[in-house]
Structure 1
Amino acid sequence: MKRLILPALLFFGITAGAQTYETKFTRPLSDVLSDVSKRFGIRLKYNVDTTGLKLAYADFRVRPYSLEETFNNILAPFDFKAVKQNGNLYKIKPYEYPRRQPEDGRKLVPYLASLYADKAAWEARKDSVKKEVRARLGIDKLLPLCSKDAPEYGKIRKFDGYTVQNFRLKTANGHTVCGSIYAPRSKGKHPLIICPNGHFSNGRYGKVQQQRLATLARMGAICVDYDLWGWGESADEVGSKAHQTPEAHVMQALNGIRILDWMIQRKDVDTSRIGVNGGSGGGTQSVLLSVLDDRYTACCPVVSVSSWFDGGCPCESGMPIQLAGGGTCNAELAAMFAPRPMMLVSDGGDWTSTTPELEYPYIQRNYGFYGKTDNVKNVHLPKEGHDFGPNKRNAVYKFFIDTFGLDATKLDESKVTIEDENALRFKPKTK
């Protein structure tokens, strides 16, 4: 049979190695993508290695009328995807399970909205999803294991209008969490704001984090931040690689709950004013804490809430909580805070770029079930990117001034003393 086929192929001018039915019309992936680039007039940048990768039925996967379908057909077999950058540039990247495209959000949000048309249906959905989030996160297995010991405190450091005190708190399975308490120097009852930090430079030791918490403290709020799992003093305990594990997702949530458990017992805390505020991954943590803990009365996630990005770090999406309720997203989880005051801070340079047109109106609708549409706000900065810059911090300050009645006359970041990392690390009080 082989002797008959080979001469036939040669007779028709088909040489060995050419695309044929027998070879499944296979071509190198790099060649196919090069052709796609020319056909659609686009540029490609690679975050993957295509060396040696071959694509069966290669050219049959091309859809001349749709670049999107072409990319999907060509890249899906390798778990790759194309992400549009600026202009006609596309980046070929590994598939990221927590990241989708704006178009996916524009499909998901109407689908979620179709599941509930009134307060009763929304409450039923919210209750069901909350329970499943807890179960998928596994938080209720750890909470009973937490130590009841009081925190250890470091020396109080006094500054212009505020103080800073480091602490170390035992949690579960012998672990601890370290952080700092920024408090007003004035007496009386103060609102409390739990401030999980994101992946910005130097974590809770960074200048931007200190500026925000100290300024809020000067205006009258007690603010608490703490290390990410596997960052800072946590890295000393569990190693930095621990941050890239699903345990980070669970332990950071656990740490936030336990810190609130303890802080809410302080005599200078007004339990009717309990806020949560963080940026980027800290914003994701803020939303998660608001879902897990009903004690919060105000929530302010910054550059984080999206219907098409769950957070690319295991500390944000290491456990499959986004599968709760048959599929959810951070926008729906944020909406569960209704009707309590919430503000979303977004920008034009990251996954919050669609907030004003997509996520915010959807969340407003859910607040409308309670007749409290005005209780959710959005500050959008279309010309800014992913950071916690001055305009974003000013939006946070105004939100808490309006919501918690902070003293706006004390809003002055120049009065904040920026400490080095060593000063913010826990050291027991010396007798």
Structure 2
Amino acid sequence: MQTREETDMNLPFTFLAPRPSLGTRPSLGTLALALLLCSLGLAAKDPRHGPLKDLNGFFPFNPPATAEEWEERSEELKLRLLVANGLYPMPEKTPLNPVIHGKVERPGFTVEKVYFESVPGLYVTGLLFRPENPKKGKLPAVLCPHGHGGRLHDLGKAGVRRQIVIGAERFEESGRMPKIARCGTLARLGCVTFLYDMMGYADNRQISYQLAHRFSKQRPGFEGSDSWGLYSAQAELRLQSIFGIQTWNSLRALDFLASLPDVDAGRIGVTGGSGGGTQTILLGALDPRPIASFPNGMVSSSMQGGCTCENASLLRIGTGNVELAALFAPKPIGMTAADDWTREMLVPGKGFPEIKKLYQMLGKPENALCPDLTHFKHNFNYVSRAVMYSWFNRHMKLGHEEPIVEEDFKLLSPEEHAVWNETHPEPEGGEKLERKLTKWLADRDDSLLVNLPPGEKKIVFRKAWETIIGRKYDEKADFSHKKNRLVHLPSGEETFLEAVEPTEEGDQPILWLGYESSEIKRLSKGKNLHYRAITFREEKEGFTSTVANKREFAGYTHGFNHSRFARQVHDLLSVVSYLKKKHGKAPVLRASAAMREQAMTAAYLSGGAVSGLKVAKSDFRFASLTDYRDPKFLPGAVKYGDVAWLKQALGKKLAVE
């Protein structure tokens, strides 16, 4: 279950951390220009100068008007999810090498212990529930990610009695462990059900609970381009995260379940609560196999998940859990509203009415459900589970008479829960495993990307860079340019753009980046039209701003907001589009060392809209960064080729001065 400690850390303001030693100080001319920008009202009007968005923001879903528009939007979102999870393009799946052992029996179902390798050396553990006397033929199946508290979460005798009094649970025995009760009942209903451990819970301890769910302070000893740990700048630059690994584990858990000889792979449902609801949303968006979904307690237009395991860089920029859950459409999706961050789900503009509108537009309004259970706090209790049983009974064609009522059973003992024992010893974990894992993931991804056919590689890398930057070049965008203020009208974003030496119309536009006007006048030659641009917070010193959450995790900031580097590239894409439209010629870009990589990225994404690029010599590589607050930090930049790829893609268009 989510805790208020996890969800209330963010405050509605941002801060600018103390200045590190990052490059040269801005000149007096640049500082004077910053004052000019303020006098022009630039900072006040550009929406990017407001507070950074955090996980406690507002994340509305505005459903499109047509199925065609939704198809286009859904493809964009699925690409973002794949990139953010470190899964684009989808890696090759290694052998699971599953082991099933230690069967125990309860009235109506059996329980077995499971472990398998999601990647070589990294194990997923859990419990497999099966009907005691199954019908002939293959059976429907349900995958159950458990959420916070883990499968060993026990309400205790006093706790379950309190739940019984308010009508949230029914039985003093099985009601103590709601996740086990859910899976036992699903098995009684005829479903092969797999309850697998999230990282850091129960028997999945190779990555500790503290690291997976309570990380708060950066570890300098885990930075380095040869060996690094999770949460480091190196990991973020390669899109390696607890969230991404957990998503991969979930996909492999689905592979395991579908591979069982008694499972009908065409009748699989997924349901989880709280953090398990987050994983249910992701599985519904990324894998076509589930036919019914019930993500409880996390479909919300407010709090998006407070734990480090529910966030990743790039994940929710421009979107949120409601829209991500809607990616399951038009297949059946159910959920409940409770007295938590989902309490307003039934309010127009706050979530479920918009999901219902989408399903109505797609011709399947009956496939979306959200009962009002706001008299209960955050839960996946007896009442919510009953809604889920009925939903799966209907849409997975289980064939049971309604209502479906849970039955009590004796809880499993600690020995019956334990996956690891003397016969099945627990694998190694800790820091050694963590470093080994990040290196293995990097090598896997490098090999995959390097060996793509040339034509496919160009497509994959362009889509990836457009996603991590968060914008495509738009030659049709509209602009306003007055008093040296260029406004990108679709977004309201503003860039300082001045004509330094205007000559007759039609001359070659030259865009100077990172230079003072006096330098441009000294260096400029020929009858060209010279412009000077100042991009987003280019004049700022020191670290970039982060959200107020005190836990030092890039995903809390970069999961909801574009990096400063990306926003500077947005400005350059706007300026290039404006100049090309205004003068009818593709501009040439000239960049100082400070703006070299931004200019290279913009030129790459602009394609033929930039005719040439001259940059100052520099040895910078994204892989050299050691802090996610560095102004040039860009999640995913190392994974997708670093500066070397930009050079290769630009080819002869790029010249070094």
TM-score of the superposed pair, with normalisation by structure 1? 0.71
Name the CA shift for 1:328/1:304 in 2 (closer, same or farther; >3 Å): same
- 2:183 maps to 1:234: no
Name the CA shift for 1:130/1:230 in 2 (closer, same or farther; >3 Å): same
Gaps of at least 5 residues in structure 2 are 1-7, 18-51, 155-176, 216-230, 232-240, 425-657
Aligned to 1:254: 248
SS at match of 2:325: helix
Residue in structure 1 matching 2:131, options 184, 198, 209: 184
Residue in structure 2 matching 1:159, options 100, 103, 106: 106
Report how far residue 205 of structure 1 moved: 5.4
Report how far residue 318 of structure 1 moved: 3.0
Is the 2:82–2:89 Cα contact (8 Å) retained in structure 1?
no
Residue in structure 2 matching 1:198, options 129, 141, 147: 147
- 2:378 maps to 1:386: yes
Residue in structure 1 matching 2:287, options 271, 286, 293: 293
The whole-number CA distance in structure 1 between the counterparts of 2:94 and 2:332 is: 32
Report how far residue 129 of structure 1 moved: 1.1
Is the 2:143–2:257 Cα contact (8 Å) retained in structure 1?
no
Larger deviation, residues 284-293 vs 203-212: 203-212
Is the 2:146–2:198 Cα contact (8 Å) retained in structure 1?
yes
Is the 1:154–1:428 Cα contact (8 Å) retained in structure 2?
no
Is the 2:291–2:396 Cα contact (8 Å) retained in structure 1?
no
- 2:308 maps to 1:314: yes
Name the CA shift for 1:204/1:248 in 2 (closer, same or farther; >3 Å): farther
The whole-number CA distance in structure 2 between the counterparts of 1:381 and 1:243 is: 31
- 2:124 maps to 1:131: no
Aligned to 2:369: 377
Report how far residue 356 of structure 1 moved: 1.0
The whole-number CA distance in structure 2 between the counterparts of 1:346 and 1:216 is: 22
Aligned to 1:351: 341
Larger deviation, residues 132-141 vs 393-402: 132-141
Report how far residue 263 of structure 1 moved: 1.7
- 2:122 maps to 1:175: yes
Alignment of 1:12-411 (within 5 A): 76=14, 97-100=54-57, 104-105=58-59, 108-109=60-61, 112-113=62-63, 116-140=64-88, 143-144=91-92, 146-185=93-132, 186-187=134-135, 188-200=137-149, 202-204=150-152, 206=154, 207-235=177-205, 237-244=206-213, 247-323=241-317, 327-347=318-338, 349-357=339-347, 358-406=350-398, 407-408=400-401, 411=404
Letter in 2 for 1:356: L
Structure 1 residues 310-362: Cα deviation after superposition (integer angstroms, max 9, x where no partner): 11111111343101xxx000100111111111111121x21101111231110
Name the CA shift for 1:139/1:388 in 2 (closer, same or farther; >3 Å): same
Report how far residue 430 of structure 1 moved: 6.3
Name the CA shift for 1:233/1:430 in 2 (closer, same or farther; >3 Å): closer
SS at match of 2:259: coil
The whole-number CA distance in structure 1 between the counterparts of 2:15 and 2:106 is: 58
The whole-number CA distance in structure 1 between the counterparts of 2:15 and 2:313 is: 25
SS at match of 1:121: helix
Letter in 2 for 1:179: G
Tell me which protein shows more helix as a share of its residues: 1
The whole-number CA distance in structure 1 between the counterparts of 2:152 and 2:270 is: 15
Is the 2:104–2:112 Cα contact (8 Å) retained in structure 1?
yes
Letter in 2 for 1:152: V
The whole-number CA distance in structure 1 between the counterparts of 2:403 and 2:141 is: 17
Letter in 1 for 2:352: Y
Name the CA shift for 1:180/1:410 in 2 (closer, same or farther; >3 Å): farther
Identity %: 29
Aligned to 1:64: none
SS at match of 1:339: coil
Report how far residue 373 of structure 1 moved: 1.0
Is the 2:304–2:321 Cα contact (8 Å) retained in structure 1?
yes
Name the CA shift for 1:316/1:389 in 2 (closer, same or farther; >3 Å): same
The whole-number CA distance in structure 2 between the counterparts of 1:362 and 1:261 is: 32
Report how far residue 405 of structure 1 moved: 2.8
Letter in 1 for 2:76: S
The whole-number CA distance in structure 1 between the counterparts of 2:81 and 2:114 is: 29
SS at match of 2:129: strand
Structure 1 residues 96-116: Cα deviation after superposition (integer angstroms, max 9, x where no partner): 82112xxx34xx33xx33xx2
Structure 1 residues 85-129: Cα deviation after superposition (integer angstroms, max 9, x where no partner): xxxxxxxxxx982112xxx34xx33xx33xx21000110000111
Is the 1:218–1:411 Cα contact (8 Å) retained in structure 2?
no
Residue in structure 2 matching 1:423, options 398, 409, 416: 416
Report how far residue 269 of structure 1 moved: 1.2
Is the 1:181–1:223 Cα contact (8 Å) retained in structure 2?
yes
The whole-number CA distance in structure 2 between the counterparts of 1:130 and 1:360 is: 20
The whole-number CA distance in structure 2 between the counterparts of 1:241 and 1:78 is: 28
The whole-number CA distance in structure 2 between the counterparts of 1:301 and 1:364 is: 15
Larger deviation, residues 164-173 vs 262-271: 262-271
Name the CA shift for 1:409/1:306 in 2 (closer, same or farther; >3 Å): closer
Is the 1:190–1:270 Cα contact (8 Å) retained in structure 2?
yes
Is the 1:126–1:336 Cα contact (8 Å) retained in structure 2?
yes
Report how far residue 285 of structure 1 moved: 0.8
Report how far residue 222 of structure 1 moved: 1.1
Aligned to 1:11: none
Structure 1 residues 223-247: Cα deviation after superposition (integer angstroms, max 9, x where no partner): 1111111222222x22222313663
Aligned to 2:228: none
Report how far residue 173 of structure 1 moved: 4.5
**Higher relative contact order (CA closer than 8 Å, sequence separation 6+):** 2
Name the CA shift for 1:119/1:204 in 2 (closer, same or farther; >3 Å): farther
Is the 1:284–1:316 Cα contact (8 Å) retained in structure 2?
yes
The whole-number CA distance in structure 2 between the counterparts of 1:77 and 1:255 is: 35
The whole-number CA distance in structure 1 between the counterparts of 2:319 and 2:145 is: 22
SS at match of 2:279: helix
Structure 1 residues 131-179: Cα deviation after superposition (integer angstroms, max 9, x where no partner): 12101110247842x5314301112212211111111101124210100
Report how far residue 420 of structure 1 moved: 2.9
Name the CA shift for 1:299/1:264 in 2 (closer, same or farther; >3 Å): same
Gaps of at least 5 residues in structure 1 are 1-46, 49-70, 80-94
Name the CA shift for 1:319/1:421 in 2 (closer, same or farther; >3 Å): farther
Is the 1:346–1:381 Cα contact (8 Å) retained in structure 2?
yes
Report how far residue 409 of structure 1 moved: 7.4
TM-score of the superposed pair, with normalisation by structure 2? 0.47
Letter in 2 for 1:268: D
Letter in 2 for 1:367: Y
